Each structure stands twice: as C-alpha cells, then as structure tokens.
Amino acid sequence: MILQKIYDENVENDIKSLFEAWPEISYKVTIKPVKVGDDSINVVYIETNDEDFEKAVGIFESKEEAMGAFRSFAYELGFEDYPTNIAFLHAGFDGDKLFLFLKAKNDDNIKQFDQLSVEKLTKELPNYQRVVIYQSAVLTYLKDIYPAIDNIAYVIPHKLSNIGCQTPELSDLAKIYGVSLNTKEDEVRFIERLLQDPKGLCKDKELPPIDIPL
C-alpha cells in the first residue's frame, strides 16, 4: 500500500510510532515537492511491502485484517491512502427529481442513482480514495448521508477558490473546448477531461493535483 501526508514537523515521529507498532513491516519513505497554486508543498509517501502483513496472521485472522488495522493507526497519525481509484461524481435534476452520476476514471461506464437508490451509491463510494466533484451542492447533499465523503472529495470550486479563481459554468467551458454537453453523462466525461487539460479553468494558474493529500 502507499500512504501519504503533507510534510509537517511531526511526520518523522509519526513514521517512527507507526513502525515501532508494526516492526515486521518493511517500507520505503520518499518526500516530493508538489506545486499548489503559486506555492509548493512537500508530500511524504510511505510504501509498504504488503507481503509482510502475512507475518501478522495469527494475531489477526487474515492479511487483509492486519492491513486494515495498520491503515487505521496510520489514519490516526494523519496519513491517508494514495488515491489509485478515482471517480467523478455529478448531479442533475429531471423536473424535481435528483439524479447522481458516478464515473470511474478511464472507464466509459457511468452509473446513475436517484434519491431512492442513493444508498447504493454510498456503498460504491468506499471503492474510491478520491471523488472529484464540480458542484459544491453535491458535497453538501451527500455529507448528511455519507459523512466520509469529506475525507475523499476533491471539490473543484473549493480548489479554484483557494488559488483565487471563480468556478466557470460548464456550458461556458464547453464552448472554449468545442464540445457539446447534451446530457449529464456528457458533463461527467467533460469534467474528467477538464482535469486532464485544465486550460480554461483558471487562466495561468493550475489546480492542485487530484492525488495529493486533502
């Protein structure tokens, strides 16, 4: 597994505490600078040898249970999973009926949910370490149903605000990119494209990478 955390004065002690509790796990630590707006932050990455968790079987019922316990302790120390599974979440109305659309990165399949099936969505979300949202209202709506969304949500309006930019309407951006947005599914695909080629989002400023710690 790969865990990450923004570098701070406690990080060396946190790593020491983590592996004093789990001495059987071998690991590698790297620190990389990441540009965020006009600034740069240092991100600490811990990569573990997952086969080493087999050594904890006996104390735990399985390798997976041991990895879960390790993760829980790492989370308490402020680490999070490096996002390898990323999704895009969007919403729209048909009359007064709300629909939510979930698309995994690099997957053409888009799953649709309504207010009656939103519980199914909350069971899908734990499969992702990062969920990209273009509408702040989606986060507000989901927080009451699935509070853990706060820990994985990359909310584009919030990120733009942090670097001094406003959030353009998708329809305006579509004109810049020369694409047609006829359905909400089109909009979800377009949001994914924006993260790959964000030229129209904030002039000469760049959004923070979606995979850095939140």
Find the radius of gyration of the CA atoms of the chain.
Answer: 19
First and final CA of the chain: distance in angstroms? 18
pTM: 0.86
**In angstroms, rounded to a whole number, what is the distance separating the alpha carbons of residues 88 and 191?**
8
Stretch 185-196: mean pLDDT: 92
Q: Is the pLDDT of residue 6 over 90?
A: yes
Rounded Cα distance between 181 and 84, Å, is 28
Residue 109: the pLDDT is: 93
Give me the CATH topology for the region 2-81.
Answer: Alpha-Beta Plaits (3.30.70)
Element (H, E) at 173: helix 170-177
> In angstroms, rounded to a whole number, what is the distance separating the alpha carbons of residues 136 and 193?
19
131-146 pLDDT, tens per residue? 999 988 888 888 888 9
- The per-residue pLDDT for range 77-97, each reduced to its tens digit, is 999 999 999 999 999 887 778
DSSP string, 88-146: EEEEEEETTEEEEEEEETT---EEEEETTTHHHHHHHGGG-SEEEES-HHHHHHHHHH-
In percent, the amount of the chain with pLDDT more than 70 equals 100
